[in-house]
Amino acid sequence: MIMTVDVGNTNITVGVFRGDEVVTSFRITTKMSRTSDEYGILLINLLEQNKIGHDEIVDVIIASVVPNVMHSLEGAVVKYFNILPIIIEMGIKTGIRIITENPRQIGADRIVDAAAAYELYGGPVLVLDFGTATTYDLIDKDGAFVSGVTAPGIRISAKALWEDAARLPEIEIRKPESILAKETISSMQAGLVYGQIGQTEYIVRHMIEEANMGEIKVVATGGLGRIIASETDVIDVYDPNLTLKGMNLIYKKQNRKSGKIRA
């Protein structure tokens, strides 16, 4: 089995694949500082909770937008799994060509999402990821990453509200019963959710219009993407496992049967 590790700003999402099947997935918070031993023991314990022995993992692939985590995480994979992991970075085969002005500025997570959306749903495709930031990435019919938009994510906006406005409470992010809110919590929920829906529709429509590529499929992912996707007709597909699937697809392009380190 292959273990995919997506290191985001908020969470580390781990997936385990048997071929194209997602056997299991789980999340670890990113912001807590950990040693390689802590990562190793945590990963092994979580795998065992999902009835997977760590010795069943034959290879590991990592995509990260948090450089400070990588030394400990790579060390954990080497020490506890005896595997030299594949790191998704410039030069690795992804199936996506980046033709923006500075390709090195495109995060590994966005490349992975682009690779998955293009291979699974075809091009041109517009990929939306509702994560810590909300990103909108356009891939043309030939698999070229041509443009991207980055906006604050819903959680960032929510955190700004309750941290910077003294009288506003920390709230659950969900769609209220009505946009015509009558008290503080539902008014905040309405502003956050309906504001994100409006932003999504405006950006998607203008990107498609300016791209002038004809019909473009819109694919969304990310934890809070489910809320938005169910409330707008500009999103064609919501795929919660898009990033993990992309990492598995990129792994297959490396033609590596095992990452085990020989004794």
Q: Which residues are catalytic?
A: 109
CB 237 within 8 A of CB 128: no
Q: Which of 42, 41, 73, 46 is nearest to 60 (CA)?
A: 73
CB 259 within 8 A of CB 62: no
Q: Which of 125, 121, 136, 155 is nearest to 10 (CA)?
A: 155
Which residue has 């992991």 as its token pair? 85
**Which amino acid, 27?**
R
Helix, strand, or coil here: 146?
A: strand
